[in-house]
A = this chain, B = another copy of it.
Amino acid sequence: MTTDIHAYMQQVGKQAKDASRALAAASTEQKNNALLVIYDKLATAKADILAANKIDMDNGKQNNLDAALLDRLELTDPRFDAMLQGLKDVAALPDPIGEVTDMTFRPSGIQLGKMRVPLGVVGMIYESRPNVTLEAASLALKSGNAIILRGGSEAFESNQAIAKYILEGLKEAGLPAYGVQVLQTTDRAAVGELITLTDYVDVIVPRGGKGLIERISNDAKVPVIKHLDGNCHTYIDSDADPEIAVKVSVNAKTHRYGTCNTMETLLVDKAVANDLLPKIAEAIIDADDAMQLRLDAEAKAILQDNAKLAGHLSDATDSDWDTEYLAPILAIKVIAGLDAAIDHINTHGSQHTDVIITDNYSKSQRFIREVDSSSVMINASSRFADGFEYGLGAEIGISTDKIHARGPVGLNGLTSQKWIVYGHGEVRG
């Protein structure tokens, strides 16, 4: 079986590489047309796809999948429509491919510039949500890449059904049918093959839990655009505007819990902790009565007798500073100023998104420069760290790496720049 999977994946990889050449040369019009043809195919096939999804849901219930997973798996009517609308949204985005920048003449006489080109073949590994199949396929197509998709086994029927109509659409639009390949196996060995297909695959984009992404990163030979965790901080400086400190802290913690740009640790300068920490803590409890606050000793000394906070407080342990809760829990630490805050964030953070609240120019600039995170903010909620808020149009993922792409990754994350030279017969002397 493993030998079969190896041969199958070699074939899939080769097909993708061949298709990627034609896709790289496809015009913007061809690619947008393909997206709209696929839209029409899927719209007509709605009943088929929802029926396939029902099989996955029935199997999932029989296999006792947990409620959260079943919820992500389900293609409801509005979800189906939103998924299709995504195709039109991607078609409306500017085409990143072919953009030429920085054309300059060199002393030798050659004219040198950079052209944006597709990476080639993208491998995507993800769990449960079948709408990711269509979203990833559309982003790959728009950026001129071929894509190999490996969804979760629980969504197998849904993904195959969607793939069938993507394939029909590609053919009808005159683009290579192997431009989008959804693996026709649930064998786990296929993942191991995909992430080591260095001859054919240019980048792996995993989406899913931290465990999945760590496993893939660890075993991959193909470069991975990975997103691990978001342990985001807000640091309330001694020169913070109190109103902004309260408003931004409440938003960063309570706007949503399951998102990676949510604040997990609040750091408060000890010079203003007595004054500001009770106001912030009370406002957060006001926003969500289910909130639990985990306090270091100094924060505890300030907050423990506050009647409004009774029942919401507990002691922080060392592991709290390294934890992404994704829940109504907030760690709070009183800290000895800017240097200690930067040091804490660079030591315990996940290099995702960190915020300073201050009205001091020098400290704002030092924080921006010295905090080593993919997004660093002054006086704004960490919840803004997002491809749509950043104006990228679409989000491939959020990278916690420093190589290639950092932070929210848009269509450009699936591209590269090659050097182009316009000459007139120049030779090197």
Interface residues of A (CB under 8 A from B): 21, 24-25, 98, 104, 106, 108, 110, 112, 115, 117, 119-120, 202-203, 218, 221, 223, 241, 243-244, 247-248, 250-252, 255, 346, 366, 368-370, 372-381, 383-385, 389-391, 401-404, 406-408, 416-428
Contacts and interface: CB of A to CB of B under 8 A. Distances in A.
B24 A370 contact: yes
A159 B349 CA distance: 36
Contacts of A428: 251, 255, 381, 383-384, 389
27 contacts: A21-B372, A24-B369, A24-B370, A24-B372, A98-B369, A106-B389, A106-B390, A110-B389, A115-B369, A120-B372, A203-B403, A223-B401, A244-B425, A247-B425, A248-B423, A248-B427, A251-B428, A255-B427, A372-B418, A375-B418, A380-B422, A380-B425, A383-B428, A403-B403, A406-B417, A406-B419, A408-B419
Given A251-B427, A381-B423, 5 more contacts: A106-B390, A203-B403, A380-B423, A384-B423, A404-B404
Contacts of A112: 390-391
The count of identical subunits is 2
A117 to B, nearest CB: 7
B416 A406 contact: yes
Given A218-B221, A376-B418, A420-B377, A426 B384 contact: yes
Contacts of A202: 402-403
B423 A374 contact: no
A419 B120 contact: no
B426 A381 contact: yes
A376 B416 CA distance: 14
A368 B250 CA distance: 52
Contact of A376 (B221, B252, B380, B421): B421
B419 A379 contact: no
A45 to B, nearest CB: 34
A108 B384 contact: yes
A376 B419 contact: yes
A313 to B, nearest CB: 25
Contacts of A243: 425
A31 to B, nearest CB: 14
Contact of A370 (B21, B374, B384): B21
A425 B24 contact: no
Contacts of A370: 21, 24-25
B384 A421 contact: yes
A192 to B, nearest CB: 15
B403 A418 contact: no
